[in-house]
C-alpha cells in the first residue's frame, strides 16, 4: 500500500508474518495492490507461500465485495482501507508518523489503528496481537487508539 508514499508502508516482513500466522489459523490471506506495488507484493508472497495474489486484478467494486466476505483486513494508511472499513469489514490500519490517525483514520464499526513513529518500527508481533483483538471485538465496537495491518490496495478501474 501507499506506493507514492513509502514512508507510510509497513515492512514486507510484517505482512509476511501476518500471512503465515493467518494460514496457521485456517484463514487464506489475500494480497491486493496496484501494478506499482507488484515488487512489494512479490516479496510478501515469497516469504509466505500460500497467500492469494490478486495484485492489479481488482477495482474498488471488487475490493468492497471481498471486504464484505472477509474475516478482516490489515493494511497501510491508504484510501482503499477507508472503503474496506466503510462496508463493515473488521479493519486493522497501520499508521506511521506520516499521518495523524485522529484526523484521517478510516471510520467504521470495527476499525483499529496501530501507529508507529516509522515503518521500520512496526512490529510483526504487535500487528498479530492487534489482529487477534480486532477479530475478537463484537460488532459495533471500535477502538481508535489501537493497531492495524492490511491487505494492500486496489486500483480503480
For residue range 98-134, what is the model confidence (pLDDT) as tens digits?
888 989 999 988 999 999 877 778 889 999 999 999 9
CATH number at residue 119: 3.40.50.2000
Residue 48 within a domain: yes
Residue 153 within a domain: no
pLDDT score at 66: 96
pLDDT score at 99: 86
Is the pLDDT at 34 greater than 90? The verdict is: yes
Residue 143 within a domain: no
Residue 149 within a domain: no
Residue 156 within a domain: no
Residue 46 within a domain: yes
- pLDDT band at residue 138 using 50, 70 and 90 as cut-offs: low
- pLDDT band at residue 136 using 50, 70 and 90 as cut-offs: confident
Residue 141 within a domain: no
Give the Å distances, CA to CA, from 23 to 16, 20, 67. Answer: 11, 5, 18
Q: Per-residue pLDDT tens for 40-89?
A: 999 999 999 999 999 999 999 999 999 999 999 999 999 999 999 999 99
Residue 69 within a domain: yes
Is the pLDDT at 4 greater than 80? The verdict is: no
Give strand ranges (E) for the chain: 30-31, 52-53, 73-76, 91-95, 111-115
Q: How many domains does the chain have?
A: 1
pLDDT score at 145: 36
Q: Whole-model pTM?
A: 0.83
Domain, as residue range, for 41: 6-136
Q: Locate 53 and state its grid cell.
A: 495474489
Q: Is residue 126 classed exposed, middle or buried when 0-12, 13-18 and 19+ CB atoms within 10 A define those classes?
A: middle
Amino acid at each position: 500500500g501507499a506506493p507514492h508514499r513509502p514512508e507510510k508502508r509497513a515492512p514486507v516482513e510484517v505482512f509476511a508474518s501476518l500471512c503465515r500466522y493467518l494460514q496457521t489459523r485456517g484463514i487464506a490471506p489475500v494480497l491486493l495492490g496496484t501494478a506499482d506495488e507488484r515488487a512489494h507484493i512479490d516479496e510478501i508472497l515469497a516469504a509466505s507461500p500460500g497467500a492469494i495474489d490478486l495484485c492489479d486484478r481488482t477495482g474498488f467494486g471488487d475490493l468492497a465485495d471481498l471486504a464484505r466476505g472477509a474475516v478482516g483486513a490489515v493494511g497501510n494508511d491508504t484510501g482503499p482501507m477507508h472503503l474496506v472499513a466503510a462496508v463493515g469489514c473488521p479493519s486493522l490500519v497501520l499508521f506511521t508518523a506520516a499521518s495523524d490517525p485522529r484526523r484521517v483514520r478510516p471510520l467504521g464499526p470495527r476499525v483499529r489503528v496501530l501507529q508507529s513513529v516509522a515503518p521500520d518500527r512496526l512490529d510483526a508481533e504487535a500487528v498479530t496481537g492487534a489482529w487477534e483483538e480486532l477479530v475478537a471485538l463484537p460488532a459495533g465496537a471500535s477502538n481508535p487508539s489501537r493497531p492495524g495491518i492490511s491487505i494492500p490496495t486496489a486500483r480503480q478501474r
